[in-house]
Amino acid sequence: MAKSRTSVAQTDLSLADSDDFAYLIQIDIGGQDFRVLLDTGSSDLWVVSSDCTTVDCSGVPKYAKSPSLSLTDVPFHLTYLMGNVTGVLGSETVTVGEFQVSSQIFAMANATGGLGLAGTGDSGILGLAFPAEASIADTVGRTLLENLLSSFNDTSQKFFAFKLGRDQDDSSFTVGELDPTFANSTDDLTHTPVYAPHGSLYDYWKLPLHSLTINGTSFELSQSRVRGAPAPIAVLDTGTTLALGPTQDVARFWESVGGARQTDRGWEVPCNRAVVVGMVLGQGSSQKEYVLDPADISWREGSVDGSWCLGGVQGNDGVFAADWLLGDTFLRNVYVTHHAATDSKPPSIGLRGLTDPTAALAAFLKDRGADISPPANVESHAPQSITLSAGDICGIATAGGFVAGVVLVVLLFTFMRLCRMRRRRC
């Protein structure tokens, strides 16, 4: 059970030298400090153990068995789209911010491969998705998220919120209360129930994505592959760097933007290509456009030569739990709250747009220089999509975790290997 201590915990942001972004949070497991990837696209907590000798986990802090560890003989294994992890389960005292959970189930990884841990400095993953997607069975133990939220008697506090920053001083993560820098009341955000097909369990933090906009003109999307969905479905995922969508939609998107090219790295765009893109999310009265900074569409952190930048939107047809995966290039533009279900309400997501399109475009042009390319020519027609039945849909295991409480936990900011999307085998 989680219990609160009295003072407010705050950690400093740090910036490491690599190619892309990751958002890390510091936690304590058995009296040992670790930085782990904060990921709303998975549900498990795992860290590398002192038994891990693979190259992938070299150079990062590793968990050493402590007197408070209760070891099991239950194996743990995940195969990701990019990499894998193998280990064993145990329970240990885990501290996040000002909250301490005794006998928290977690996985100790004795082998990892293809995850790039040594390059980013993270020792594991803290998952914040729903328990239905946990690889660790609920018969063994509850997720860290469940245990943390159980410390609240007031259901209005059973939520977490984050803002993913661009700099070292504007990321935040809170549980149980809002960060007043970004919102003073939950009424400041637009709330939408989490999407789940009829009769299905909640798995990821999903919303309908009705369309995109390019310089204010609507860009139509293909029909959802999820049977019965009112619109294409998007997963909000802090563990993924870019926005990923169906390849045919993304190809039309870049053709509409103009000037882009497709390479073995993905879609690239001139670093001075100035375009304002929006994403229309929600359902019914909550349907609303959220604007992206042009710097998140022409992504200079992914540039090779300074002239061509990696596109912030890329094609990927492997997102089987939904249609789109909205990673950090979208999430840096919004303040997000994630609310647990109550007796009277389903789980919900609150969004507040933070990017002013006029100011963001002016800053982009000042930084990148004038864009003399022809204006975008939006191709609005969307082709039909293949519809999958519920039995055809499998899950995405990305990376993540969140904290419960009325305390503020500032995210540790670093860079990560590009497109850290991980999907479990179906």
Confidence (pLDDT) at 12: 30
Confidence (pLDDT) at 168: 62
Phi, psi (rounded to 5 degrees) for 31: 80, 10
Q: Which residues of the chain have pLDDT under 50?
A: 1-20, 385-426
Confidence (pLDDT) at 170: 78
Pair 279, 290: CB distance under 8 Å? yes
Q: How many Cα neighbours within 13 Å face the side chain of 137? A: 6
Confidence (pLDDT) at 387: 42
User: Residue 158: beta bridge partners?
Assistant: none
Structure tokens at 320: 């089987």
Quote the CA–CA distance of 18 and 61 in Å, as a whole number: 18
Handedness of CA 286, 297, 265, 22 (dihedral sign): negative
Question: Residues near 242 by Cβ (< 8 Å), separated by ≥ 6?
Answer: 299, 310, 311, 312, 313, 314, 327, 328, 329, 418, 419
Structure tokens at 116: 């790039």
Active site residues: 39, 237
Domains observed in the chain: 13-151 (2.40.70.10), 183-375 (2.40.70.10)
Confidence (pLDDT) at 390: 34
Pair 414, 22: CB distance under 8 Å? yes
Confidence (pLDDT) at 302: 67
Confidence (pLDDT) at 18: 30
Please report which helix (H) or strand (E) contains residue 129, including its range: none
Confidence (pLDDT) at 121: 83
Beta sheet of 407-409, edge-to-edge order = 190-193, 348-353, 334-339, 159-163, 172-175, 407-409
Quote the CA–CA distance of 338 and 382 in Å, as a whole number: 31
Quote the CA–CA distance of 173 and 25 in Å, as a whole number: 9
Structure tokens at 234: 């998007």
Please report which helix (H) or strand (E) contains residue 259, including its range: none
Confidence (pLDDT) at 100: 92
10 Å CB burial of residue 181 (0-12, 13-18, 19+) is: exposed
Phi, psi (rounded to 5 degrees) for 148: -70, -45
Confidence (pLDDT) at 8: 30
